[in-house]
């Protein structure tokens, strides 16, 4: 999501919360699977199977990408960051926003690869200077907010993905 498109609007429909990466990834995987299944029926089956698979995969990819809605998460944290235990009054939401975003986006990546917070945190630490933008927080200051972003989306999903009891 960028400042030029704060609602992450779909470029075609204008609907908020677009996830073109998830749609594209799902469509590509679905097309490949559909083409493989359809190839049993010959070249026409390959084309038809690929098209059907692309549509189904695209919808599945969109659904998977929308498990975490970045627009809703940013809005929640904008309204609640001062209530987070890691909050320090010398910093603004603009300082904390990249940390929350890191937490909830890395949760999705970790879930896809089967990693826990403890396994994923070192890579978040290593990437912090690259992703923090104008935030004045060091990783040690941002880590609590990142964990809060991670925990919030994890609590919204069924089960305890990383088995940490949160």
Give the rounded distance of the alpha carbon of 117 from its chain centre. Answer: 15
| Residue 130's pLDDT band (cuts 50, 70, 90) | very high
pLDDT at position 92 over 80: yes
pLDDT of residue 43: 72
pTM beyond 0.85, yes or no? no
Tell the burial category of 81 from Cβ atoms under 10 Å away from its Cβ (0-12, 13-18, 19+). buried
Domain range list for the chain: 20-65, 70-156
Coarse DSSP helix, strand, coil percentages of the chain, rounded to the nearest 5 percent: 70, 0, 30
Q: Which of 64-73, 95-104, 117-126 has the lowest mean pLDDT?
A: 64-73
Residue that the structure tokens 């939401």 belong to: 93
How many other CB atoms sit within 10 Å of the CB of residue 105?
A: 20
| Residue 78's pLDDT band (cuts 50, 70, 90) | very high
How far apart CA 115 and CA 110 sit, in angstroms, is 5
| Lookup: tokens for 105 | 């986006």
23 vs 104, which has greater pLDDT? 104
Residue 65 φ/ψ region, left for φ over 0, alpha for ψ in the -120 to 50 degree band, beta for the rest: alpha
| Residue 1's pLDDT band (cuts 50, 70, 90) | very low
pLDDT per position as a tens digit, 112-129: 888 999 999 999 999 999
Please state the rounded mean pLDDT for residues 131-154.
96
Q: Which of 29-43, 116-130, 132-146 has the lowest mean pLDDT?
A: 29-43
How far apart CA 102 and CA 133 sit, in angstroms, is 12
């Amino acid at each position: 999501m960028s400042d030029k498109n704060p609602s992450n609007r779909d470029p075609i429909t204008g609907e908020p919360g677009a996830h073109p990466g998830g749609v594209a990834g799902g469509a590509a995987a679905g097309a490949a699977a559909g083409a493989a299944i359809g190839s049993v029926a010959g070249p026409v089956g390959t084309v038809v199977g690929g098209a059907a698979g692309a549509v189904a995969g695209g919808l599945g990819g969109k659904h998977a990408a929308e498990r975490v809605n970045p627009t809703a998460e940013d809005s929640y944290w904008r309204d609640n960051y001062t209530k987070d235990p890691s909050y320090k009054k010398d910093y603004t939401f603009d300082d904390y926003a990249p940390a929350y975003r890191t937490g909830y986006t890395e949760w999705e990546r970790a879930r896809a690869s089967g990693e826990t917070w403890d396994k994923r945190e070192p890579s978040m630490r290593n990437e912090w200077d690259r992703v923090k933008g104008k935030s004045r927080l060091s990783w040690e200051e941002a880590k609590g907010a990142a964990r809060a972003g991670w925990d919030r989306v994890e609590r919204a999903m069924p089960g305890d993905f990383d088995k940490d009891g949160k």
